[in-house]
Amino acid sequence: MTDSKFKNVAFFDPEDIMQVKYEMLRSVKKDDTGIQQASKNFGFSRITFYKTDKAFNENGLAGLLPQKKGPQRAHKLSGEVMEFVKELIEKKPGIKSDSIREKINERFDLTVHKRSIERAIARSKKKHPET
């Protein structure tokens, strides 16, 4: 980052990505800095500038907050797959997650990490505790 504000003024924190992105947008809109130059000054690509601008226009400051990457839930473990897992566990209570993983792959042609299966089973137990 080469923007002078973040080097000379204590208020500006170069580690605060939200503030850096906001100042990049502000420099284009208020200071008439070109997009390419502003992106360079603040250490972002032009593509990131456009994505940041869109997120800010759609969501305000909240759009500048970093977002979690990747799926936020076990998207491969649908209800049908979890029902199959439940049946496997009922038939063989001590079954290992590696065995469950293999059977899911055979039946549904899905590759699922064993930790995903273990977490899904744990969530299922929390939702439906045995009485």
What tens digit of pLDDT does each residue of 65-92 get?
888 777 777 778 899 999 999 999 999 9
Amino acid occupying residue 124: S
pTM: 0.53
Residue with tokens 């899911």: 104
| Distance in angstroms (rounded) separating the CA atoms of residues 118 and 6 | 45
What tens digit of pLDDT does each residue of 100-126 get?
999 999 999 999 999 999 999 998 888
Q: How many CB atoms lie within 10 A of CB 10?
A: 5
Domain boundaries, the chain: 5-64, 79-127
Confidence category of residue 45, pLDDT binned at 50, 70, 90: very high
Chain CA centroid to CA 31, Å: 33
